Each structure stands twice: as C-alpha cells, then as structure tokens.
Copies of this chain bind each other. A is one copy, B any other.
Amino acid sequence: MINSVGREIPDTIAGFKSMIPFRGAFEKGGSSPDFPSKKTRLLQGNRKVLTSMREALEKVGVESGMTVSFHHHFRNGDYVLNSVMNEISKMGVRNTKIASSSIFPCHEPLVTLIQKGVVTAIDTDYMTGPVAQAVSRGLLEAPVTLRTHGGRARAIDDGDLHIDVAFIAAPTADVQGNINGVDGPSKCGSLGYAVPDASHADKVVAVTDNLVNYPLTYVSIDQTHIDYVVKLDKIGDSTGIISGTTAITRSPIALKIAEYTAKVIEASGLLQNGFSFQTGAGGTSLATASFVRQIMKERKVTGSFGLGGITGFFVEMLEEGLFKALLDVQCLDLKAVDSLKKDLNHIEIGSSMYANPRTKGNAVDMLDVVVLGATEIDAEFNVNVTTGSHGDIMGGSGGHGDAAEGSKLCIVVAPLIRSRLPTVVERPVTISTPGEIIDVFVTERGIAVNPGREDIKQRLVDAKLPVVEMEKLRDTAKRICGKPTPIRFKDRILAVQEYRDGTVIDVIREVE
C-alpha cells in the first residue's frame, strides 16, 4: 500500500494487529473499527458553545427512551433540571429516565412531566418534596431505583447505569467546556457528584450562566469530557445549597445527644492525631462537631481530614489547623465554596473518590468516625432514612450507607421520639443501611452499642457513659408512644432501595 505521503506500507507486519495506511491528517481513522472510540472529536473550527437549550438537545440527539442525568449540587436551588426537562417535553420526547443524584422540592414540575409521560423512570440517591410524594402515591408506573452516592458512582463507572446525555449545571465554563463550581454568580462549590456522569455519559452538556474565555484555570471537570456548552440566564440559586439549619442547635435534647456523641468519639480512642471525621449540616451535627472541636483543641489533637458534604464549620476547623485537609464532594454553604476556591488544603473530589466501593480506594474507607442520622432504627441497628414512619418516600441513603460501611466508627444519632413517633422500632418501614455496619446509636435517653462492637462498649462503660440496650430504648419508646398502628402495604413496589454494591436491601411498597 502507498499511503497519502507516498510511503510504501506493508499490508501486514507480524505482531501488529492492523496496518492502516495514513490517509491525510484530516481524514481521521475515527471510523475505523480497529480503533473504536466512544468519543466524537470536535475538530478545530467547530464550536462547543450553543445559543439555546433546544439547539443542545438537538445536537446531542435527545430522543424518547433515553436516560438523562443531573447532579444535585444546587440542592433545592437548582434551575437546570426543570429547564432541560421543560425543553425536552416541548420537543415531544417521551419515556425519559431521569438519573439525578438527588431530587428536591424545587423539582415539582417533574410531577406534571410524569403525568404527561415525558418522564417514566427515576434513578436517584435521595428524593424529597412533591416528586417523592407523587411517587409515594403511585404516580410513576415503574419503580424508582434508589442508590447510595457511592453506589451511583459505582453503577455509572461500571456501566450498570448507562447515561445517554448528562446535563451538568456549571457555575463557570470556558468556551471549550472546562468547568468549575467555585466562580460565577451562581457558584455552588464542588461538582463531585457530576464527575461519573461526565466521564461515562455518551454526551455531556455543560449548562452555565458564566461563560469565560479559554482557558479556565480552576477546573473541576475538563474539556475532554464536554460536548457542548449552553448559556442560560441563571442556572441556580446559590443560597439553595445550604443544608440543614446551619446553626448549632439550641434544643436541649439535641444538645444532650451531641454531647454524648462527642464523648463517645473521645472514649473510642480514635480522637488522636490523624483523626478523620464526617458529619452533616444539621443543628445536632454541628453541635457534635462543636464539642469535638473543643476536645481536639483541649487535647491538642491534629486531625487528618474532614470529609463529605462540607460546611463553614469544617472550614473553620481547617483554618484552625484541626484538620490537615478537607475532602469535598459537596459544599453545604457559601463559606465552604469560598474556601474550596482559595484554600489549597480544601480539595474537591468526585463521588467515586468519595465513596465508590469498587474503585481501587475511596475516601470513606479511610474515615475514622462518621455521625449519621436515622428516621427509624431497629434492635439490630438497621436504619431507615428512606421513608417516613407513615411509609412515604422522604429521603434516601445519600452517603449514609457509604460512610457507615467505610468508617471505623459509625455513630447514628436521633432523639428517641419525634412528633410522638418512636425512632427505635420493631420493624423499620424500610431498611436503608444494614445494622451490621452501625456501631453506636446515641439518643438523649442513653447510648446503645452494636453487640458486634464489644470493644467500643467496654470503652464507653469505662468512660461512665450511659450505655443501654437497644431493646430497652425500643421498649421505652413504645411505652411513651403506645403501640404504633401497623402500616398496611399493597403488593405494588414503588421503589427499590439498592445497597452501595448494587444488591437490593429493600423494596418500598405502596401504602394502602
């Protein structure tokens, strides 16, 4: 064969699987079955920046039956999911699966789209608000898949959840699709949950309201993953990222729980140099963190890292030198966003790095202590964070099962009774996280230790903490609240709660 620069190329050479002659620099081998690539090259001169969402949807070839994905870094302040789905609906596309890392009250317009048949399937880690209520009423024919955050990353990385088109709300994007979440009028911080989508979706559209010149220098997800960039007027409301109360609780019960929890951590022996910690953004969590911070200062403990959804409280601990680093998969307030941008020890991680159980190593597996919540918990420490006591979907695992399994010490905290309903129950409506990976349950009425952790129990007894049996907590709750009326379920399954490895830990049935 003579190739296009006039050189004689043998048809075959031993040991080479193919000898495709050069055909010219712009006659790409892209169509050759010898070099398969899922990626479509964007040749110089082509433009990624499109002028409308409609144009983007047409360019990526959105059609009925596709799976489209979204991330939830704007939480209840997200505008992108509704904006995209509204346009998809207008195009006459039907039978769409929404794979969003979480669904919030702001996504109420999805209810209408489900009614219209535009959306017929949902795959998410957490859902609350009108969509969750509509699903609980049986509006969606197909059962929802509920995953953990790490399980979602696993499912996408492994091809178990295939995404046709990912839409990434990008607070700042350059013209080639390098994006970040720390700059711009709608900054939301880490884009960690969008990383698996960007890496594996067939097509990826960055949606921004802050388009800048090339090259962006703080890059969360780089241009090699982005097909198109679309500019909207506004992609989200930054204040929507704020989770929980953002202030330390003043409730005496919650303060008692927080104090016990900090003492459990102190007694566990883990609170020493190199200590790593994850907790939430609610009032009790912040109070716990506040007590832990005080103990760390008193005992001159320097921790290694704070993990997870990051709050300004953790930022202060980083700045005080109580942590060497923050590993940030999601910012839970604007102080965290600003720290992520300017502090080199505050680093952004993707959700696989955070918690995918099938990588070569994730961050939750390096975690000493996590403090998590529970809607219900049983005597075997099985936790429900998916459904309310009346059986409706009002949450989901999020990172619950991930951090519980990965950490050396997983503490679940909750008041014994909430709104006259017991937290410790005979049988949780749903099991979201298996009891075998919950070590300690802290309530204002005492601290129960998983029988599998005799070592911890002994330490708490030695520290004179009020250790009680789970059965006793359950019976106390029952005595106060009375025997709950059992919920009656229909056969119909509304959702499947997956464990992080993809196995099914429970199903959620329709309430009669």
Which listed residue (B40, B154, B325, B365) contacts A43, Cβ 8 A? B365
A435 at the interface (CB under 8 A from B): yes
* B9 touching A204, Cβ below 8 Å: no
Which listed residue (B16, B23, B154) contacts A143, Cβ 8 A? B16
* B222 touching A28, Cβ below 8 Å: no
A507 at the interface (CB under 8 A from B): yes
* A214 touching B23, Cβ below 8 Å: no
* B360 touching A225, Cβ below 8 Å: yes
Give the distance in Å from the alpha carbon of A177 to the alpha carbon of B176 in the complex.
Answer: 31
* B222 touching A42, Cβ below 8 Å: no
A108 to chain B, nearest CB (A): 24
- With A29-B503, A37-B358 in contact, do A5 and B219 touch (Cβ < 8 Å)? no
A287 at the interface (CB under 8 A from B): no
A488 at the interface (CB under 8 A from B): no
* B347 touching A42, Cβ below 8 Å: no
A357 at the interface (CB under 8 A from B): yes
Q: Which residues of B contact A42 (CB under 8 A)?
A: 360-361, 365
Give the distance in Å from the alpha carbon of A493 to the alpha carbon of B23 in the complex.
Answer: 21
A20 at the interface (CB under 8 A from B): yes
* B436 touching A44, Cβ below 8 Å: no
Which listed residue (B24, B358, B366, B493) contacts A30, Cβ 8 A? B358
Cβ proximity bits A419-440 to B, threshold 8 Å, 1 near / 0 not: 0000000000001001111000
A152 to chain B, nearest CB (A): 13
Give the distance in Å from the alpha carbon of A157 to the alpha carbon of B121 in the complex.
Answer: 32
* B360 touching A204, Cβ below 8 Å: yes
* A224 touching B382, Cβ below 8 Å: no
* B358 touching A39, Cβ below 8 Å: yes
Give the distance in Å from the alpha carbon of A286 to the alpha carbon of B435 in the complex.
Answer: 65
* A503 touching B344, Cβ below 8 Å: no
Give the distance in Å from the alpha carbon of A274 to the alpha carbon of B176 in the complex.
Answer: 14
* B30 touching A215, Cβ below 8 Å: no
Q: Which residues of B contact A37 (CB under 8 A)?
A: 154, 157-158, 358
Q: Which residues of B contact A5 (CB under 8 A)?
A: 380, 382, 431, 434-435, 505-506
From residue 8 to 22 of chain A, which have CB atoms closer than 8 A to chain B? Answer: 8-10, 13-16, 19-22
* B503 touching A13, Cβ below 8 Å: no
Q: Which residues of B contact A431 (CB under 8 A)?
A: 5, 7
* B361 touching A177, Cβ below 8 Å: yes
Give the distance in Å from the alpha carbon of A255 to the alpha carbon of B467 in the complex.
Answer: 82
A64 at the interface (CB under 8 A from B): no
* A503 touching B20, Cβ below 8 Å: yes
Chain B residue, CB-CB nearest to A506: B7
From residue 36 to 88 of chain A, which have CB atoms closer than 8 A to chain B? Answer: 36-37, 39-44, 48
A493 to chain B, nearest CB (A): 6
A192 to chain B, nearest CB (A): 12
Could you say which of A99-107, A469-477, A494-502 contacts chain B? A494-502
* B493 touching A10, Cβ below 8 Å: yes
* A274 touching B361, Cβ below 8 Å: no
Give the distance in Å from the alpha carbon of A16 to the alpha carbon of B507 in the complex.
Answer: 12
Q: Which residues of B contact A507 (CB under 8 A)?
A: 7-10, 13
A223 at the interface (CB under 8 A from B): yes
* B29 touching A344, Cβ below 8 Å: no
A409 to chain B, nearest CB (A): 12
A425 to chain B, nearest CB (A): 14
Give the distance in Å from the alpha carbon of A35 to the alpha carbon of B156 in the complex.
Answer: 10
Chain B residue, CB-CB nearest to A45: B365
> A residues within 8 Å of B by Cβ?
3-5, 7-10, 13-16, 19-25, 28-30, 32, 34-37, 39-44, 48, 121, 142-143, 145, 154-155, 157-160, 176-177, 204, 213-215, 217-219, 222-227, 274, 304-305, 324-325, 327, 344-345, 347, 349, 352-353, 356-363, 365-366, 380, 382, 405-406, 408, 431, 434-437, 493, 496, 499, 501-507
